[in-house]
Amino acid sequence: MKREERLSPEHHQLLSRRGFVKSSGTLAAGSVLAGVAIPHVHAAEDNTIRLALIGCGGRGTGAAANALTVPNGNAKLVAMADLFPKRIEISHKNLAREFGPAVDVPADRQFTGFDAYRKAIDCLRPGDVALLTTHSAFRPPHLEYAVEKGVHVFMEKSFAPDPVGIRRIIRAGEAAEKKNLKVAAGLMCRHSPARQALIQKIRDGELGEIPLIRAYRMAGASRLSPRPEGEPELMYQIRRSPHFMWASSGRFIGLMVHQIDECCWIKDAWPVSAHGVGGRMADSPDCSENHDSYSIEYTFPDGAKAMVVGRYLNNCYNDFSTFVHGTKCAAQFSGNIHAPTVHTYKDQRTTDDNIAWAYGFKEDSTWSTRYRGKESPWQEEWNVLLAAIRDDRPHNEAKRAAYSDLASIMGRAAVHSGKVITWEEAMTSDFQFCPEIDTMSESTPPPILPNDEGRYAPPVPGQATEV
């Protein structure tokens, strides 16, 4: 398969959201939206932007809350979908309690099953927004369907677990571009005012050339226990997807894709190669296929390096930060839980007594993924998306998000295989964890099976391949 290099620069003009509403719902013959059915539920509406939440776990619920918090956003949640009814129940209860009439999802617009995403998206009309917040294995078909139906998209990271899925995301993003559909991606740090301020300093040359970046996400263990008797194997794996590569890309990418995206943003480039080491604690009680340690060296086109370290073990040193080392001085790019802890330093010493400039945000106990103040990147990415829809401005993060995810896949593949993985190898690879993802049902055989002890074999360097 040929490498996808560029998104189309052309934007095909469609009716804006406001224009669509004013047009009384009639589409001209030959429009790219012609033939798209408008569900009866949306007859005779105002300019409210309808939302469909597909994937009702914690991050999906948080994304819906951010969407409903947008100042003057005039958004309403009208449909929800998930494989697990309990997740819909909990998410709906929490959102309805906080947002009241802005959550209008009666029982007949709460959908379960592998085709639930289609039913939820079908409750939208062109110009509304689908929130794709399921596990990454399902992101490519969900995005493709949303684009086909002519709706804008917010998609959570990560975006696909393998190179085949990444190319599907790129192609769907290109199709969205041609339809003037907006696609936002959940790499929210790109929308952090603090990080944008530091990026400007980097682009202005205040740090000099950037030969080295260091990124860390080191925390306690997250372990998988054997499958409870009576729970179907496939549903068990999906319910616990961070422990399985095919379902969610695994724990490393699920967490570190943000830091890897930061490295690529800082360099304004994509890595040409990656190699690394990792492994499992001896006699680990974890039954998953994840490693608990990853250390990766990325090389960029100018020879610069990014060192990315993930470790998930108890009773060890923890760190959650990204540092930039320029030829003039160093800087901190992010802090704990993605807090906007942004500094430049007088030289290469990254200590508090050596700060030359600090962004104005004051870190305190309110900072969390639920924080929706003016410095919250989770909130800002939604402010930008809905403004782009209202004002009909170009906004398509699909290709950039896919490339950051591909860089993450490169790193994971390098550790799991024990080999140097190049960008070209990753981009053109036909490796796919689960070819049956588009037709998956409860009767589909699980992509991976445990041994007699209920343990799933982790990748073995020198034997495993993911590219």
pTM: 0.89
Say if residues 109 and 143 touch (Cβ distance below 8 Å): no
Would you list the DSSP string of 321-373?
A: EEEEE-SS-EEEEE-GGG----EEESSS--SGGGEEEE-S----TT-STT--S
Residue 365 — pLDDT band, cuts 50, 70, 90? low
Say if residues 329 and 346 touch (Cβ distance below 8 Å): yes
pLDDT on residue 61: 97
Interval 90-96 mean pLDDT: 98
- What angle, 0 to 180 degrees and rounded to 10, lies between the N-to-C axes of helices 250-267 and 193-203? 40
Residue 447 — pLDDT band, cuts 50, 70, 90? very high
Span between the terminal Cα atoms of the chain, in Å? 13
List the single range of 17-31, 129-143, 350-364 with lowest mean pLDDT: 17-31
Query: Of 336 and 34, which is predicted with more confidence?
Result: 336
Query: Of 149 and 11, which is predicted with more confidence?
Result: 149
pLDDT at 52 over 60: yes
Torsion angles phi and psi, residue 166, rounded to 5: -60, -45
CATH number for region 193-369+405-439:
3.30.360.10
pLDDT on residue 119: 98
pLDDT digits over 207-225, tens only? 999 999 999 999 999 899 9
Residue among 180, 127, 134 nearest 155 (CA): 134
Interval 335-343 mean pLDDT: 93
- The whole-chain average pLDDT of the chain stands at 90
Q: What are the extents of the domains in the chain?
A: 17-189+378-396, 193-369+405-439
Residue among 233, 194, 199 nearest 363 (CA): 194
pLDDT on residue 367: 82
pLDDT at 259 over 50: yes
pLDDT digits over 371-412, tens only? 888 889 999 999 999 999 999 999 999 999 999 999 999 999
pLDDT at 41 over 90: no
Place of tokens 């009384």: 24
pLDDT digits over 265-316, tens only? 999 999 999 999 999 998 899 999 999 999 999 999 999 999 999 999 999 9
Determine what percent of the chain is predicted with pLDDT higher than 90. Answer: 85
Residue 361 — pLDDT band, cuts 50, 70, 90? confident
Residue 364 — pLDDT band, cuts 50, 70, 90? low
Its CATH architecture, for the domain 17-189+378-396, is 3-Layer(aba) Sandwich (3.40)
pLDDT digits over 177-207, tens only? 999 999 999 999 999 999 999 999 999 999 9
Sign of CA pseudo-dihedral 265, 268, 270, 271: negative
Interval 144-152 mean pLDDT: 98
- What angle, 0 to 180 degrees and rounded to 10, lies between the N-to-C axes of helices 163-178 and 139-148? 20
Interval 63-72 mean pLDDT: 96
pLDDT on residue 360: 87
Residue among 45, 35, 102 nearest 73 (CA): 102
Sheet with 110-112, side-by-side order of all strands: 110-112, 75-82, 49-54, 129-132, 152-155, 183-185
Residue 366 — pLDDT band, cuts 50, 70, 90? confident
pLDDT on residue 45: 52
pLDDT at 370 over 90: no
